Amino acid sequence: MTRRAIVAANWKMNGDLALVNTMVSGLANVELQDNVNVVVCPSSPYLSELSAQVKTKQLSAAISIGAQNVSEHKQGAYTGEISTQMLQELSVKFVIIGHSERRSYYHESSTQIAHKVHTALTAGLTPILCIGESEAERAMEQTDTVLAAQLQPVIDEIGIEKFNDVVIAYEPVWAIGTGKTASSEMAQETHQFIRQFLAQADEDVAAKVPLLYGGSVNASNCEELFAQSDIDGGLIGGASLQVEQFKIICSAAKGK
């Protein structure tokens, strides 16, 4: 078994302290298959409470903590931003970078995203780098070109070797929050493209990078998606706000 599976909850701007409590209690007894990491990424005001609960209840083996964003700057006059050092103090291990909502609503470019990945890695955080095409781009058969254009600036900035410490999440924009999941065949085909694209730079690294699928994953479709040879888990939005459903998704993942 060479590749771990990861199931990450992206709460986006949802959730509250009560959800932190019920999620921690729920995940305390989740049954996981071999080689699976569960990551919970709440909004930043809840990171501290999540971190405290995971520590007190000695659940750090079961639950890893993730942030939804990080600044590309180390510190300074950047009102509203959060630094890697702040995340580290809260025992955060993962950080979602380049989510399509950040790319489109906050105009984060692939170059800025590459800087963020670099900053996160330098601080020892594992980036969950999100990439994905829009509905129009897929319709125009530009998916591969778009994904390559999102990945290349990151490869150029950090070098392919550093992808040993990166997780990639493929999230087709048209499948996010819409209930329209990519079919497992379509998701597998795209994941295979991403792995092959990375393999052009380094085959060994490409074979080991966990590739997560995101976009309307739920308790009913997770098993089929996770059974695909290049899908190593998921980045879960809406369904991660429901503890029982999220637990089912976590239990379906398996390292490959």
> Which residues participate in catalysis according to the annotation?
99, 171
Residues 56 and 221: their CA atoms lie apart, in Å, by 34
Compute the least distance from the CB of residue 219 to ligand 13P, in Å: 12
In the bound complex, which residue of the shown chain has the CB atom lying closest to ligand 13P? 237
Nearer to ligand 13P, 108 or 160 (CB): 108
Residues 117 and 215: their CA atoms lie apart, in Å, by 22
Nearer to ligand 13P, 10 or 126 (CB): 10
Cβ atoms of 217 and 240 within 8 Å: the answer is no
Compute the least distance from the CB of residue 201 to ligand 13P, in Å: 25
Cβ atoms of 194 and 151 within 8 Å: the answer is yes
User: Which residue stretches of 106-174 are H helix?
Assistant: 110-122, 135-139, 143-158
Compute the least distance from the CB of residue 169 to ligand 13P, in Å: 7
The DSSP call for residue 209 is S
Residues within window 228-247 making contact with ligand 13P, judged by CB under 6 A = 235-239
Is 95 an interacting residue with respect to ligand 13P (CB under 6 A)? no
Nearer to ligand 13P, 69 or 119 (CB): 69
> How many residues are given for the chain?
256
Residues 9 and 246: their CA atoms lie apart, in Å, by 8
Nearer to ligand 13P, 188 or 242 (CB): 242
- x/- contact string, 168-207, with ligand 13P (CB under 6 A)? ---x----xx------------------------------
Of 49-57, 140-148, 210-218, 222-230: span binding ligand 13P (CB under 6 A)? 210-218
Q: Give the HSE-up count for residue 88: Cα atoms under 13 Å, Cβ half-sphere.
A: 12
Cα 40 to chain center, whole Å? 10
Residues in contact with ligand 13P, counted by CB under 6 A, come to a total of 14
Longest dimension (CA), the chain: 51
Is 214 an interacting residue with respect to ligand 13P (CB under 6 A)? yes
Residues that bind ligand 13P (CB under 6 A): 10, 99, 171, 176-177, 214-217, 235-239
